[in-house]
């Protein structure tokens, strides 16, 4: 076989969704296959839900509901995206619903997406390496965590979600676009806004090194 063809076949196999055999087994009535999916993704989904709701209890509720809805609506999964993407999307939607029900989401309309452009690879990564703690207000690492948490909570849920998926959970721009059903440009704009807003909030507690 021609080496180029062999390479293409190898690449195609490597991108096959590893969850599809389990999904197929579940559709055929194998409950243990669903339990395997739960084990595979429960921690990841919890981390995402907690990152958005900022509540351990709410995150647990979100994950349970997300798995239940995924199981009940498995026939709607067409395989156009990875199963993990579909599952994360359900979790994100449930997280936003949880916030709305608790009246925690009071989002403002965004300006045009071109206001804060970022690079193709999601440039302008949020980075604290060039920030120095103010010794008058920060003495322990626990205080820093409290400050970061307080600032993070001030982000609008949609901005918080994009920031968490990209800068905390490590998803690519294209993956986030697929998960949230947004264009790459919209994801980049929200990510830039989230980073800029966090930087603005943190300037209350930090100052740049001379």
Q: Are 96 and 156 in contact (CB under 8 A)?
A: no
Residue 137 has pLDDT above 60, yes or no: no
Tens digit of each residue's pLDDT (9 = 90 or more) over 20-79: 999 999 999 999 999 999 999 999 999 999 988 888 999 999 999 999 999 999 999 988
47 burial (CB, 10 Å; 0-12 / 13-18 / 19+) is middle
Tens digit of each residue's pLDDT (9 = 90 or more) over 55-64: 899 999 999 9
pLDDT level of residue 142 (50, 70, 90 thresholds): low
**Which pLDDT score, from 0 to 100, does residue 128 have?**
38
Tens digit of each residue's pLDDT (9 = 90 or more) over 98-117: 888 876 444 444 333 333 23
**Which pLDDT score, from 0 to 100, does residue 103 have?**
60
pLDDT level of residue 120 (50, 70, 90 thresholds): very low
Q: Is the dihedral of CA 134, 164, 192, 152 positive or negative?
A: negative
**Which pLDDT score, from 0 to 100, does residue 87 have?**
95
Q: Is the dihedral of CA 104, 177, 171, 208 positive or negative?
A: negative
SS3 132: strand
* Distance from C-alpha of 189 to C-alpha of 194, rounded to nearest angstrom: 9
Q: Is pLDDT larger for residue 144 or for residue 181?
A: 181
Q: How many CA atoms lie within 13 A of 117 on its CB side?
A: 3
Q: List, in order of start, the domains of the chain with CATH numbers.
A: 18-101 (1.10.1740.10), 131-208 (1.10.10.10)
The dihedral region occupied by 82, where left means phi > 0, alpha psi between -120 and 50, and beta the remainder, is: beta
Distances (CA, A) of 155 to 152, 158, 196, 197: 6, 8, 10, 7
Residue 182 has pLDDT above 80, yes or no: yes
Q: Is pLDDT larger for residue 152 or for residue 185?
A: 185
pLDDT level of residue 132 (50, 70, 90 thresholds): very low
SS3 206: strand
Tens digit of each residue's pLDDT (9 = 90 or more) over 151-177: 888 888 889 899 989 988 889 999 999
Alpha helices in the chain (DSSP H): 3-14, 20-27, 31-53, 56-72, 83-101, 141-153, 157-163, 173-180, 184-202
């Amino acid at each position: 076989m021609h080496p180029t063809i062999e390479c293409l076949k190898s690449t195609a196999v490597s991108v096959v969704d590893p969850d599809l055999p389990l999904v197929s087994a579940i559709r055929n009535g194998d409950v243990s296959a669903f339990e395997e999916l739960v084990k595979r993704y429960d921690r990841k989904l919890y981390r995402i839900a907690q990152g958005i709701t900022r509540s351990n209890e709410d995150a647990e509720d979100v994950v349970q509901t997300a798995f239940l809805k995924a199981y009940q609506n498995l026939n709607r999964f067409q395989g156009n995206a990875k199963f993990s993407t579909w599952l994360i999307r359900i979790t994100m939607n449930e997280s936003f619903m949880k916030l709305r029900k608790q009246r925690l989401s009071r989002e403002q309309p965004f300006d045009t997406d071109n206001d804060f452009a970022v690079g193709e690879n999601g440039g302008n990564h949020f980075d604290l390496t060039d920030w120095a703690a103010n010794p008058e207000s920060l003495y322990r690492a626990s205080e820093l965590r409290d400050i970061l948490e307080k600032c993070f909570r001030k982000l609008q849920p949609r901005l918080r979600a994009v920031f968490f998926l990209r800068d905390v959970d490590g998803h690519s721009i294209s993956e986030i676009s697929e998960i949230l059903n947004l264009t790459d440009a919209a994801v980049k704009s929200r990510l830039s806004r989230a980073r800029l807003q966090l930087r603005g909030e943190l300037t209350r507690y930090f100052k740049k090194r001379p």
